[in-house]
Chain A
Amino acid sequence: EDQVTQSPEALRLQEGESSSLNCSYTVSGLRGLFWYRQDPGKGPEFLFTLYSAGEEKEKERLKATLTKKESFLHITAPKPEDSATYLCAVYNDYKLSFGAGTTVTVRA
């Protein structure tokens, strides 16, 4: 059974204070690892897909990396608008298995 664990559950940052979110996974044959952003009262919004260990993707202040056992979402010099819940999911057999998410709060 696929398992996805995200840490920490919550992260409070000062504006400009860089940090990283962790997503560890166990899956039989990773076909892809997804990162989504979710704002309160809204549906998850797609950020990145990573397919193989060593792969990295960037979007504005966000950078996602992937190893054989975990993925990191690095937030560089965050701004208050980066406050959201970040969800990680592994893809297998056309389905996604999600972690519980990390809620990031960035204070001005």
Chain B
Amino acid sequence: DAEITQSPRHKITETGRQVTLACHQTWNHNNMFWYRQDLGHGLRLIHYSYGVQDTNKGEVSDGYSVSRSNTEDLPLTLESAASSQTSVYFCASSGLTSGRADTQYFGPGTRLTVL
């Protein structure tokens, strides 16, 4: 069965360190997304990609970067981790359906703690 996986599931790091969170999907979806989820804010979009070599900033992109070198993976990098980036991170993917809103399918999440 097609799926979307994230690793690691839990990560503790120190302020200032570079951290990379992995996202891998086997749906063969063109679109991939990264969100963070914090109490009281719901899910907020960090970065997204509509295909290989395409990346775009979301509403909370400062301090994060992504790169898309193949269809299956969209790693999220925190350049210099800050305590404000302690959160739960979700990756999602969706396929292209012309003219209709396409459904996003979510991974299990990564809980990141920055000390």
Contact = CB atoms under 8 A, between A and B. Distances in A.
Interface in B15-47: 31, 33, 35, 40-45
A24 to B, nearest CB: 14
B64 interface: no
Contact of A43 (B31, B40, B109): B109
A3 B107 CA distance: 24
Contact of A100 (B33, B35, B41, B58): B41
A43 B92 CA distance: 9
A89 to B, nearest CB: 8
Contacts of B50: 94
Contacts of A55: none
Contacts of A97: 45
Interface of A: 4, 31-32, 34, 36, 41-46, 49, 51, 87, 89, 91, 94-101
Given A98-B44, A99-B42, 16 more contacts: A4-B42, A32-B100, A34-B104, A36-B106, A41-B109, A43-B107, A43-B108, A44-B43, A46-B104, A95-B33, A95-B45, A95-B48, A95-B58, A96-B33, A96-B104, A101-B42
Interface of B: 31, 33, 35, 40-45, 48, 50, 58, 90, 92, 94, 100-109
Interface pairs A-B: 9 shortest CB-CB = A32-B101, A43-B106, A91-B101, A100-B42, A98-B43, A98-B42, A31-B101, A44-B106, A43-B108
